[in-house]
Each structure stands twice: as C-alpha cells, then as structure tokens.
Structure 1
Amino acid sequence: MSKKHIVIIPGDGIGEEITSAAIRVLERVTNKAGLTLTYEKQLAGGAAIDQYGVPLPDSVIRAAKQADAVLLGAVGGPKWDHVPPEIRAEKAILGLRKELGLYANLRPVRVSPALIEYSPLKAEAIYGVDILLVRELSSGIYYGQKCESEIIDGIEQASDVEVYTVPEVSRIMHLACQAAQLRKKQVLSVDKANVLATSRLWRRTVNQVASEYADIQLKHMYVDNCAMQLVLAPKQFDVIVTNNLFGDILSDEAAVLTGSIGMLPSASLGNGTGLYEPIHGSAPDIAGLGLANPVGTILSAAMLLRYSLGAPELAEQIEQAVDKVLAEGYRTADLYKSGATKVSTDEMAGLIEAQLG
C-alpha cells in the first residue's frame, strides 16, 4: 500500500469548505485503490496574517517542501485590502510558487456536456472542447526590470522589460510536450515572433525541444490569432504553451468558454512540490453559507492525483463522477437554473463521493 502526504492550505473565505469537500472525494477514491493519504493543514493568506502577521510563515514553506503535493483553497478578501503591500494575502501564492520552484501553470479548459448551455458560445462550437493551457509562470515581463516613472526630455514615462532565457523556455516546453503525450500529442506554441525578440528566441527554443519528441506534433500561432481562434474554433486546440503575459490573458479568455469560473481547476508545477488550486477567489461574502461550488477544488484534487501522485486513472474516476452528478441535474447556487436540483457545498461533495462507489 502506497502512502503520500498532502499539505492542505484552506486559506480564506470559502477555502475551508471547498478543501474539506475535496478531501472527502480524495479519501473515497484513494481508499478504494489502496492509496493512503495523510493530511496536514497549514495557514496562509489572510488567516496567517491574522495569526502570525505575515501571509506565508516559514513553517508553511517547510511543510510544503516536505509534502508530496499542496492543495490550496483561496486567499485574500476585503478584510486585508489595507495591509502594507509587502504582506498582502495574495503574497502567499507568489511566495509558494517561488519557494517551491513552480515555473508552469497548467489550466485545463473542458466543458462538461451537462453545462454546455452555460457557455457564451453555441453548443456546436463548445461541445467536445478539451484544452490544456500551459503558462510559463516564473519569468517574462512580470519579473523583468521595471521603471515606475522617469522624466526624459521633459516627458514622464514608465517601462517594463521582458527577458527570457533558453533554459526557461526549454523547461516549460519539455513539460508541455510531456503533458501532450498523455493527451492527443499536439502542442501549439503561442508567441509574437513577428514583433518581439523574446518571442523569436521562444520559437527557436521551442522548435529545438520539440525535435526531441518524435510523437509530438508542433504548431505555432501568433497570440492575437490564438485569442481569436479560441472563440471561433476552440475544438482545434489540445495543449497550448505560451509565456507568462500571454498565458495570463489567454487562460482567462479560455475560462470564459466554460461559462463557470467555479468549475475550473489549476496546477502549478516545477522543480518542487506541486501546488493545486481552483481558479476562483475566496468569495468571503458567501463563506460559511454552504453556497460555494466545490467542483473546481475537487477537480484540482484530480489534477493532484494525475501529476503529483502518478494516478491518472483515479483522476479520471473523479472527473467522470463530476460529469455524472452534473448530468443528473444537481447544481450549486452559482449554476442553479429552474428545473435543476439545488444542492449545498457538502451535498455536492457527497453526490460525487457516491458516484465513486
């Protein structure tokens, strides 16, 4: 019997409710498979500010580094909007990414057949969409040299510098190719090589790495065209790999295709422990009311099984269970429409558990 250790960081707002729901589902699917998980809860974000005066205590970093995976709920909220910038609750996520060496964000965009009506696109355009967007997470313009303000020839200006190195591009492309090998073996690299020097280096490096994967089909697309194609013909995509800035924008655009931000998971991977979290916020206005949708966190737990614990078959069982519950018409408050059956956070988790047998 295999044994793995998971650090749980509920965070703030609805974090406790959604991570507890995910643990219930994890327990059900792993117990049946003979995989033993141990759990350790840690404080980060606003909860850690209240307790320790900082959003990411050193003890949390140590625990995360020693774990097999980290499952995070959500951090932040109006309560901590006025703390000094260096200790804002959101610094917890940035700090974890840095300390764990996480350089890739994986965001799957898949529409459950039962929720196609929620998409802003027509059913025939969205049915069957299954995209994995791989975003470089630790470099690029967000981390380059910045000038907030300077006066040149009497005119105020500001600047942000984008820098990428060959090793940074190479490692994200290797990860994208390896992810594609578990899917349809297609990788689309998105850049702006007709304008940007960094994009030309990106493209050269991507081509070189792709040559090491004989089974992977590589294509290139400019970011503006990709943004258009995501709306016009999203079914053409399998794995999309791109830089930090483009990935930030395209992943949010792709998320809208599903019609519900509460359904979407994510994984941040790299040199250390993987970090898994839903893409939505902490929603403090509904915390403790049983209204939160736990599916994004439950699907993040499925990604945890797939990428950190090497159990893709268990991940698929969770994903199929979610689809079955939705097909039966059960909806949390964020997705409820007339004719559906409204359920609470705990009830949704229980229904998914039941589907797992």
Structure 2
Amino acid sequence: MFRKLINLFFGLLILAGASLFAKTLVDSREPLQAKPRSSEPPLVQVHRLEQSGADITLQTHGTVQSKTALQLTSDVAGRVLWVNPELVVGVILEAGTAIARVDKTQYKLALAQAKLALRDAELSLADAHTRFKTRNPRHPQIRRAEAQVATAEAQIKKAETDLARTEITLPAKALVASKQVALGQYVAPGSVLANLQTVDAVEIALPISPAELELLQSASEVEVELVSVNNDKLLWSAQLSRVNQQLDRNTRVAYAVAAVQEPYTLTPPLRIGQFVKAEISGIRLNDAFRVPTSALFENRFVYRVLDDSTLQRVTVELVRQDARSVIVRGQLGAGDRLVLSRLDIMTDGMQVTVGDTP
C-alpha cells in the first residue's frame, strides 16, 4: 500500500514538472505579427490596335458558263443534203464554219423567176415611157410600171438571200452543246439545228450573302482570282462584270458575276462547265479594325484597358468573322489595348495587370 502511494506521488510530480516546462516554453515564444491580406489585380493579355482599316476577302465558288448561248436555226425550208462531220458535241468551231446545206433547187428556180419578172417589168416600163412620157412624165401607167420594176428587184434580193441561206453557217466561234440536225432531215424555217455556246467570253455567277453584297458595293477596285477545285496551282484572273441586285428566291443569296475574256486561249484554258473557287479582294473598310477572335465578348463588345489599368467595356458592331480574327466597328482608336484573356468576372472599372503585349 505504501509503495502505491509513493508511485502515485512521483507520477503527479512528473506531470506537474512537464506542465511547468510547457508553460515556460509558451510564455517565452515571440508573439505572432498580424499582417494585412493583400489582393493582386488579375493578369490579362492584351492586343494593341494598329492604324484603323481592315481589308476583306470574300471566298465563294461557281461554275463557268458561256456568256452567250446560241440556238442555230434554219431560215429556209428544205431537205438537208449535207451536214458538217465536225459538228460534234463538245467541239469548238470557228466563226463562219458551214454547219449544214439545204437543197437549193427551189431557191435557184425562185431566183430565175424573179430575174424574169424584172425583165418583164423593165419592158413594161419602157413601153409606158414611149406611150405616156411626152404627155405626162408621172402618168399612172409609168408609175405602175416603175413599181413593178421595184417589186421585181426586191424579189431578186429575197431570192438571192434565200439561196444564200441554204448554207447554214456559224455566226461566232462557239462550242457545240447539242446537235439536232441529221442528213436527209426535212427542216422548216425556225427548225433548231444545234445549240451552241460562244467561247469569246465566259461568266461565273458567284453566290454572296446580302451582307457581303453591301461590302462589295462599297468597294472601288475589286479583283477576282479563280482557283481550280481539283488543283490549287491552277489560277485565273477575272474581272467583276456586275453584281445582281435581285436575291435568289430559293437560297436568298445575291450573285456577283465575274467575267473572263478568251478563256480557251489561256494556259491552262478555263473551260465551260468547270467548277472553281473564287477570292474577291480589294474591299477595305477604313472605319473598322481587325482584332483576334478572343478579344470579342458575346459577339457585341470588347474590353479596353485604360491608362490607369482599369477596364472599360465598349460596344462594337461585328462586321465579319473568320477562323482567327473578327472585323468590328465601334468607338475604338489606334493604340487601344483590348483584353484577350477570359476572367471569371469582368466589369467596368475593374483593376487589372497587363501582361506582355503580343
């Protein structure tokens, strides 16, 4: 019993000493200094605007078409006695090439009859002069005979024209699109012999949106470059011929029409029916800026960093957008710093730290 009391006493003594030692350590520690909490402005990357003005290139596509389509018809009636063997679909024929010949027998006969009628009329006129000219130079018989001569001369001209038209020739250099005439076929005036497309010039109708139409009309000097869809190395220069003001009823797009002169003399030739891409350049907006896409927020405003490193929100008009940049109009100026970074909270007057300007 006595031993237990002694062990308890020494245990309490050790605990008291340990507590006293711990209190001494705590009391001897230097007091902690309270420091105010600091908040650094968020870091943002900016884009500095250069001089105003933005160049725009419209990208579109279209199919090469002949500027003029010809429907070759017969002006006379008769049986076709000869057809040019070169009249084949897809072949280009020179102007003046004979296409077909119609039987001219009846037209030779008509010419001979017209010449005979002229001789009879001239004899009648001579007889009228002999009988009536001394009494009345404008006697009705003389005037009637003169009219008969004029009619006969007109009939001769018509007969000669009809005879010449029995050989049907091509009025312009053209590509044969279709052929309807055949050897031995009987044709009447107005019968279609072939459909052709002239190759002196071609046009390419290029679809553009109504917004692009407005941009195009504001440009003064426009250049059009055509590129082959199958080979980007095949290029052709074209001229903007006109801009159609009517929108397509089905697609609601407008068409800018590009023209190329003598397309088959180019190297390589630009062929009718070829599908090409087109780049329309030369459009410049002097009151707009091209900025990175990340500078535009909600497609309607940007944040500008002021000289005191605070933000200012500026409402802008989105004019055009591509993969890497946008063109905007608004109360902006050269030298402005636009925020590219995306922060959780961005408000007018917010303090920021500007990083290196790219």
Q: Does 1 or 2 have the higher relative contact order (CA < 8 Å, sep 6+)?
A: 2
Which has a greater percent of strand? 2
**Higher Rg of the two aligned structures:** 2
TM over 0.5: no
Length-normalised TM-score, structure 2: 0.20
Which has a greater percent of helix? 1
